[in-house]
Amino acid sequence: EIVDLEDLPGVGPKTAQKLRESGIMTIEDLAMTSAHELIEKAGVGEETAKKLVELAQDMVGKGFKTAYEYYESRKNVERITTSSHALDDLLGGGLETQSLVEAFGEFGSGKTQLGHQLAVNIQLPKEKGGLSEPDKVAQAVYIDTEGTFRPERIIQIAKGSQIDPDSALRNILFIRAYNSDHQINIVKRLPSLIHEGRNIRLLVIDSITAHFRAEYVGRSNLAERQQRLNQHLRDLLKLATVYNIAVYVTNQVMAKPEGFFAIDQQAVGGHVLAHAITYRIFMRKGKDRTRIARLIDAPHLPEREAIFRITEEGIRD
Ligand code: ADP
Ligand code: MG
């Protein structure tokens, strides 16, 4: 049953409005917010903030679940095909909802191409590897920070996935993020888009780290950068789990100081990013224009590799 924020004791229309404006739309959102965040966002006092979060947590059930209940809720996890069997297998059957999936790798390794592919494939019917239902097309939000999104490429990929190119374009909500604040705020506004009735099932951020890296330069700014990135990642994880959305982000690499081989390239973002990500894929160029994806750090899957290609029609085996 749906309970409104106003149903919480101590929450009047004004506070509820403030909460919604800051992206906290439901009791579930509130339960996953820290008191500290609430003080900042809704302008309530410390005592009230603590009480509200506690009440919300009580309502969604103390936080503890049996493993069986968790197993049951995991049954709502759905999967999106990448259009490569090998890549789907690597991910345990495609890209999962309720997860954060990160691709990192050198320039030209296919990170952006996979983002385009997923934004198209999400629109496929469920039996074909997408998340559309007969009366409800699944939509993607594409946040571009690097200026590499290409509608022309969407058209090619849509044709390759047997989707009408015009409707493929119409079901991707595209936005260019100009700095990290903008990027953070876009993500915070997504719940209200969903509550307005948009069937958003995929979020692509290409790339998640570029702005953070460019804006917070030097050692002295590292702590602040990581803290802001951490908050952003928590927003993303919340979005993924509360709304059963798949989140795909790309990331750049930097050479490890002691590195020598390709795998010695390191993802930007440090431990903060590594810990928040559910599936981390390292991408690189292989022989004969192939691409190699290596799964790193997945919760229940072995570390292994898949080979795929980038063709005119999109990602293929
Ligand atoms: P990055 O990892 O830097 O985001 P991209 O995903 O942009 O890399 O991959 C770029 C590569 O994708 C190009 O070098 C090219 O090999 C391939 N590619 C892009 N468009 C096409 C296309 N229409 N047909 C075939 N290959 C393409
Ligand atoms: Mg790219």
C-beta 284 within 6 A of ligand 1: no
Query: What integer pLDDT is reported at residue 1 of this predicted model?
Result: 43
How do residues 306-317 score in pLDDT, each as one tens digit? 999 999 999 999
Instruction: Give the distance (Å) from ligand 1 centre to CA of residue 115.
Output: 11
Q: How many CB atoms lie within 10 A of CB 5?
A: 22
How do residues 120-163 score in pLDDT, each as one tens digit? 999 999 999 999 999 999 999 999 999 999 999 999 999 999 99
C-beta 312 within 6 A of ligand 1: yes
Q: Rounded to the nearest 10 degrees, what angle do helices 180-195 and 222-242 cross at?
A: 10
Domain ranges of the chain: 5-59, 76-316
Tokens of 245: 């959305």
C-beta 109 within 6 A of ligand 1: yes
Instruction: Give the distance (Å) from ligand 1 centre to CA of residue 154.
Output: 12
Which residues are CB-contacts of 46 (< 8 A; sequence separation ≥ 6)?
A: 35, 39
Residue nearest to atom 13 of ligand 1 (CA): 108
Place of tokens 């409104």: 4
Query: What integer pLDDT is reported at residue 255 of this predicted model?
Result: 66
Contact present, 286 and 310 (Cβ < 8 Å): no
Amino acid identity, residue 16? A
The phi, psi pair for 132, rounded to 5°, reads -80, 145
Ligand 1 atom with minimal separation from the 103 CA = 2
Query: What integer pLDDT is reported at residue 257 of this predicted model?
Result: 58
C-beta 111 within 6 A of ligand 1: yes
- Separation CA 130–CA 259 (nearest Å): 39
* Domain at 76-316, CATH homologous superfamily: P-loop containing nucleotide triphosphate hydrolases (3.40.50.300)
Ligand 1 atom with minimal separation from the 310 CA = 26
Tokens of 150: 């290409």
C-beta 290 within 6 A of ligand 1: no
Q: Span 5-59: which CATH code?
A: 1.10.150.20
Q: Do domains 5-59 and 76-316 have the same CATH topology?
A: no
The phi, psi pair for 209, rounded to 5°, reads -105, -20
The whole-number mean pLDDT for each consecutive block of 10 residues of the chain, a chain of 317 residues, reads 72 85 81 86 86 84 69 86 97 94 94 98 98 97 97 98 97 97 95 93 97 89 87 90 94 68 64 79 94 87 91 98
Ligand 1 atom with minimal separation from the 115 CA = 6
Residue nearest to atom 5 of ligand 1 (CA): 110
